[in-house]
Amino acid sequence: QVRPLRNDERSSLTGWVTHTGESPVAVTPLNTYDIRDLGGFVAVDIDEIVGVLTYAIEHDTCEIADAHIRGRGVGSALLDAVKTLATQRAYTRLTLFTTNDNLRVQQFFERHGFRIATFCPDAMDAVRLVKPEVPATGDYGIPLRDMIQFDLRLARP
């Protein structure tokens, strides 16, 4: 089940995100967010949160600020929920940033129609000023240096 994040769940959201080893702060080349303050959706299996997606609205764009999922189609369901919301509110674009080492996320969003919009070389240097715990090496032993912006243009309802 995917539903909007409720205010009374924000403390458990923080615990869930912390449990995955991530900080509740999301840093992109455009913004720094505390994901506990953003809109979001949760995927719930019985009473357990199995996925979270948070978003921020800027003008006509809905930026996916952060997502934590555990497989089983959860990412697709959360993405469908934010796409529906963005389309209903007449936003023209969904956008997100990911790191150069996050090949799985890059593939996921490209399969869902997103395209590379911007390549941000050395963006992780600025991220580390806010989050010094970010390692120098990411997934697959890839040096963690850059960010990639993905966009999906949305049709107006």
Report the pLDDT averaged over residues 134-156.
Answer: 94
Mean per-residue pLDDT of the chain: 88
Residues 124-139 as b or e (16 or more Cβ within 10 Å = b): beebeeeeeebeeebe
Cβ neighbours, 10 Å, residue 32: 13
Give the Cα separation of 13 and 42 in Å (integer): 9
| Distance of alpha carbon 58 from alpha carbon 39, whole angstroms | 12
Q: What was the pLDDT predicted at 15?
A: 58
pLDDT at position 20 over 60: no
DSSP category for residue 71: S
pLDDT at 35: 83
- Phi and psi at residue 8, in whole multiples of 5°? -70, -5
pLDDT digits (tens, 9 = 90+) for 112-127: 999 999 999 999 999 9
Q: What is the pLDDT, as a whole number, of residue 128?
A: 92
Structure confidence at residue 29 (pLDDT): 87
Lowest mean pLDDT among 24-28, 69-73, 146-150: 69-73
Q: How much of the chain is helix, strand and coil, in % rounded to 5?
A: 30, 35, 30
